[in-house]
Amino acid sequence: MIKIAVMQPYAFPYFGYLQLMKAVDHFVFMDDVTFIKKSFMNRNKIISNGEEQLFTIPVRKISQNKKINEHYVGSGWSTKLIRSIKHSYQKSPYFEEYSVHLFPLIKELEDKKFSDACVLIFETIADILNIASKWHLSSSFGIEHLKAEQKIITICNELSADMYINPIGGLSLDFYTQDIFNPIQLRFIKRQDSLPSTSIIDLLFSVGAEELRNNIDKYELINK
| pLDDT tens-place string over residues 130-145 | 999 999 999 999 988 8
Phi, psi of 221 (to 5 degrees): -100, 120
For the cut 90, the answer to whether the pLDDT of residue 15 exceeds it is: yes
pLDDT of res. 169? 87
Max distance between CA atoms of the chain, in angstroms, equals 52
pLDDT in tens, 73-115: 999 999 999 999 999 999 999 999 999 999 999 999 999 999 9
Measure the CA–CA gap between 205 and 143, rounded to whole angstroms. Answer: 39
- The fraction of the chain above a pLDDT of 70, given in percent, is 100
Q: Residues 22-54, buried b or exposed e (16+ Cβ, 10 A)? A: bbbbbbbbbbbbebeeeebbbbbbbbeeeeeee
Phi, psi of 175 (to 5 degrees): -65, -35
Query: What is the model's pTM?
Result: 0.93
CA dihedral 123, 154, 72, 121 (to 10 degrees): -10
The distance from CA 46 to its chain's CA centroid, rounded to whole angstroms, is 16
Q: CA-to-CA distance for 103 and 148, rounded, in angstroms?
A: 34
What is residue 170's predicted lDDT score, i.e. its pLDDT? 84
Q: Which residues pair with 219 in a beta bridge?
A: 191
Per-residue pLDDT, 131: 96
Q: List the Cα angle 215/44/48 in 5-degree steps.
A: 90
Mean pLDDT of 160-170: 94
